[in-house]
Amino acid sequence: MIEFDREKTCFFLNGKNYSYVMAVNGVGMLQHIYYGKKLSSSDAAFLVKTHGEAYAPHADDPNYDMQTDMMPSECGSFARGDFREPTVVIERADGARMSRFRYLSHQIEKGALPLQGMPCARQADETLIVTLKDDFSDTEIDLKYCVSDASDVLVRSLAVRNVGSEPVQVKKAFSFCAELPDTRRVFSALRLTGAWGRERAPVVSPLSEGVLRLRSSRGYSSHHMNPFLALIEENAGEERGECYGFALLYSGSFALTAELTHNGITRVQGGIGDEFFSWKLCAGETLETPQAALCYSAQGLGGMSRAYHDFFRTAVVDPKYVYARRPIVVNNWEATYFDFDNEKLFAIIDEAAKLGVDTFVLDDGWFGKRDSDTSGLGDWTVNENKLKGGLRAVIDRCKQRGLKFGLWFEPEMVSEDSDLFRTHPDWAIAKAGVEPCRGRTQLILDFTRKEVVDYIFEAVSKILRENDISYVKWDKNREMTENFTKDLPPDRQGEFCHRYVLGFYDLAKRLTEAFPDVFFEGCASGGGRFDGGALYYFPQSWTSDDTDALERTKIQWGTSILYPVSSMSCHVSACPNHQTGRTTPFATRGAVASLGATGYELDLTKLSEEEKQQVIKQVENYKRIDELILKGDLYRLSDPFNSNYFCEMLVSKDKSHAYFVGVQFHAYPCDHERVLFLHGLDAEKTYRIKELGVTASGAALMDAGLCLPHLQDCGAWTWHIEEV
């Protein structure tokens, strides 16, 4: 609920468990007052007086600009006395850069606000738009706050508008500025870092004076740093303590900063990567920034994760797919790599049908001259030398066996050894006369240019139109380097990276709208573009190219800090594992893969009879738990980074049933760590765990805990917990 106190010029935003308060102060600036545990708006006067006046600049002081350095602000200004990192920087036509933003007007609207050309929250109860005016340029800023009564996520973004007659250069435009002025609390900063094959590992370090900057300049959100930051109170844990999350719904180069300043206030902000950014804004034009999802939790990281999971499910993921059972796929990549023909594929399809798998996904190598990763990208026509009878033959085989068919594309890329590149060499991102920087021997298409996006839309559409395809895996396998387009003048090259992302979103929107019955899965060399922006178009993404079950426990644990398990594609692969060389039991691989959108990434024909029987059981199990995967509340019980166990459980919203997966990395005699406390159950209810042969109250399972039964190295437990 959004309330406005006219007398105090105070905005009071209340979500499920949080309040967010700001007020227009004596010098007309929008001052941040409070963000934390839910309060009543009847306390607005108290908050404005104590928390507000303590930091407010004094209007009658001729030096008041300098006092803005102490003031928690809703939009950090520049070169006027606030020396912290600014939120928005405007350069006027005469080259002067300084801003002081003051309140102009506001409006409160019902529902969410659609964002042109970018992913955004599909729903909210109300949206507040506060318009600020810059004292030194003809620009206005709309600060937007989308609030839902039943959610702990507050969605923010801003727009910069040129209301003058001359162009200005926007040198920086973050999406939000949030200040945490409560100096009682010492925060640690949690980020999800990694690299290819070990994405989204949580790293926590104390926040101290100076600026913590999380960033990607890779052109996409990246394996290395997810566009997410959480500030967690000292001593907060999985299920206790306060934390604040800041997640960008954005897939491009980004920055998120946390600046702890001299007076104990922490300023958190973020949005489009500001390092090489600039945007020429002509008279009458508006620049919209991507949305950021802020979350407050008093129930530790687990509470924050569950609030984010609900948010992504109810407000971001396509409603058509969010609660629909995900296809159980078999993907041929690790089974064949580029080396396949009809026979090999047919054998996998036949076996998949016998085992209950429902979709066969044909990965890289089916098109153009694509026998290795050095050629063919951009030529989206089937290679009939490899696939006799074309895609139709494979699809017919799937249909005969009762399977659906999925197909891999890498729409944003081009190989130099391709017909597309030979015809349109200038469509690749490169500067004429300069040796291009290659990644996986490929170049990126210039998606800032409409004709290029149009062409790819047509090429992919033709394949989807002419074939019965129910699933697309949309890959992206290199980073962006040159950041240059021949189509923009020099004073607009700073727009390149963001314009590329808009081109990607444009294609994703057009394809998902043109083919509403096709399920799109995201991928970027594994989990390189796993972000809230991509989730808007792709209900799930390939979580990582590392398919080793033990490594996956860490990757899935870290990913779940922000993203719901249903957004993670998790496949059982062959052993020795192709990335680590490790051998783990087939059952363990199935157990870990069941905590997501499950599937197989191996040659099913090479499985032993015993393993095939396990696949049949895994598929049955998956169908039994699908509702928990899609809608359940996740409780992380034992951390694979810091213990010998990975344990997680999913609990139904009504707490009538739950599903538990545990993995023990090493078997030790006389292991002391074996007591495990369940979470999220109803203390008053009685539950039965069939696999253990126990019946107990929720209270006992949560407070007395369970002694984990003995397992061998790398073994797994899976339990179904049912109310009796």
220 Cβ neighbours under 8 A, 6+ residues apart: 251, 252, 253, 476, 479, 480, 524, 528, 529
Three-class secondary structure of residue 203 per DSSP: strand
Say whether 134 is catalytic.
no
Nearest partner of 500 among 228, 221, 88, judged by Cα: 221
Rg of the chain taking only CA atoms, in angstroms: 26
308 Cβ neighbours under 8 A, 6+ residues apart: 153, 245, 247, 293, 295, 562, 563, 564
* Min CB(477)–ligand GLA separation in Å: 5
Cβ–Cβ < 8 Å for 382, 366: yes
* Min CB(525)–ligand GLA separation in Å: 4
Residue ranges of alpha helices (H) inside 110-234 are none
* Interatomic CA distance for residues 85 and 408, integer angstroms: 42
DSSP letters for 78-126: BSSS--S--SEEEE-TTS---B-EEEEEEEEEES----TTS---S--SE
> 277 vs 408, which CB is nearer to ligand GLA?
408
Tokens of 671: 């292991």
> 101 vs 542, which CB is nearer to ligand GLA?
542
* Min CB(612)–ligand GLA separation in Å: 24
What are the C-alpha distances in Å from 424 to residues 412, 418, 458, 510? 14, 10, 16, 23
Helix axes 549-560, 586-593, angle to 10 degrees: 10
Q: For the CA atoms of 217, 273, 311, 411, what is the dihedral angle to 10 degrees?
A: -50
> 351 vs 546, which CB is nearer to ligand GLA?
546
If you search the block for the tokens 């604040």, which residue do you land on? 244
> 233 vs 475, which CB is nearer to ligand GLA?
475
Q: Is 196 annotated as contributing to ligand binding?
A: yes
Q: Is 475 annotated as contributing to ligand binding?
A: yes
Nearest residue (beta carbon) to ligand GLA? 364
Q: Is 548 annotated as contributing to ligand binding?
A: no
Q: How many CB atoms lie within 10 A of CB 442?
A: 25
Q: Is 60 annotated as contributing to ligand binding?
A: no
* Interatomic CA distance for residues 465 and 146, integer angstroms: 38
Nearest partner of 647 among 713, 592, 709, judged by Cα: 592
> 82 vs 475, which CB is nearer to ligand GLA?
475
> 221 vs 525, which CB is nearer to ligand GLA?
525
Q: Is 523 annotated as contributing to ligand binding?
A: yes
If you search the block for the tokens 């998902």, which residue do you land on? 512
* Min CB(506)–ligand GLA separation in Å: 23
* Min CB(337)–ligand GLA separation in Å: 8
Eight-state DSSP code of residue 538: -
Q: How many CB atoms lie within 10 A of CB 81?
A: 18
Q: Select which of 152, 310, 475, 548 is catalytic.
A: 475
* Min CB(395)–ligand GLA separation in Å: 19
* Min CB(366)–ligand GLA separation in Å: 11
Please name every residue paired with 190 in a beta bridge, in sequence order, or none if there are none: 204, 230
> 523 vs 562, which CB is nearer to ligand GLA?
523
* Min CB(473)–ligand GLA separation in Å: 7
* Min CB(137)–ligand GLA separation in Å: 45
Three-class secondary structure of residue 646 per DSSP: strand
Cβ–Cβ < 8 Å for 409, 380: yes
Q: Is 477 annotated as contributing to ligand binding?
A: yes
Q: Is 473 annotated as contributing to ligand binding?
A: yes
Cβ–Cβ < 8 Å for 577, 602: no
Nearest partner of 598 among 623, 575, 635, judged by Cα: 623
> 55 vs 333, which CB is nearer to ligand GLA?
333
Please name every residue paired with 660 in a beta bridge, in sequence order, or none if there are none: 649, 719
Query: In three state form, how does the secondary structure of 470-519 look?
Result: CEEEECCCCCCCCCCCCCCCHHHHHHHHHHHHHHHHHHHHHHHHHCCCCE
* Interatomic CA distance for residues 679 and 699, integer angstroms: 9
User: How far is C-alpha 572 from the chain's CA centre?
Assistant: 23
Interaction site with ligand GLA (CB under 6 A): 333, 363-364, 373, 408, 475, 477, 523, 525-526, 542, 545
> 408 vs 537, which CB is nearer to ligand GLA?
408
Nearest partner of 406 among 274, 242, 538, judged by Cα: 538
Please name every residue paired with 442 in a beta bridge, in sequence order, or none if there are none: 439
State residue 409 phi and psi, 5-degree precision: -135, 155
Eight-state DSSP code of residue 422: H
> 88 vs 572, which CB is nearer to ligand GLA?
572
* Interatomic CA distance for residues 393 and 366, integer angstroms: 12
Vertex 466: Cα angle to 462 and 469 (nearest 5): 100
* Min CB(524)–ligand GLA separation in Å: 7
* Min CB(388)–ligand GLA separation in Å: 22
Say whether 468 is catalytic.
no
Q: Are strands 359-362 and 329-331 parallel, antiparallel or unpaired?
A: parallel
> 99 vs 547, which CB is nearer to ligand GLA?
547
> 81 vs 406, which CB is nearer to ligand GLA?
406
Q: Select which of 446, 545, 548, 633 is catalytic.
A: 545
* Min CB(410)–ligand GLA separation in Å: 7
Residue ranges of alpha helices (H) inside 266-373 are 300-311, 319-322, 333-336, 342-355
Catalytic residues, by residue number, are 475, 545
Known binding-site residues equal 196, 363-364, 440, 473-477, 523, 545
Known binding-site residues for substrate equal 196, 363-364, 440, 473-477, 523, 545
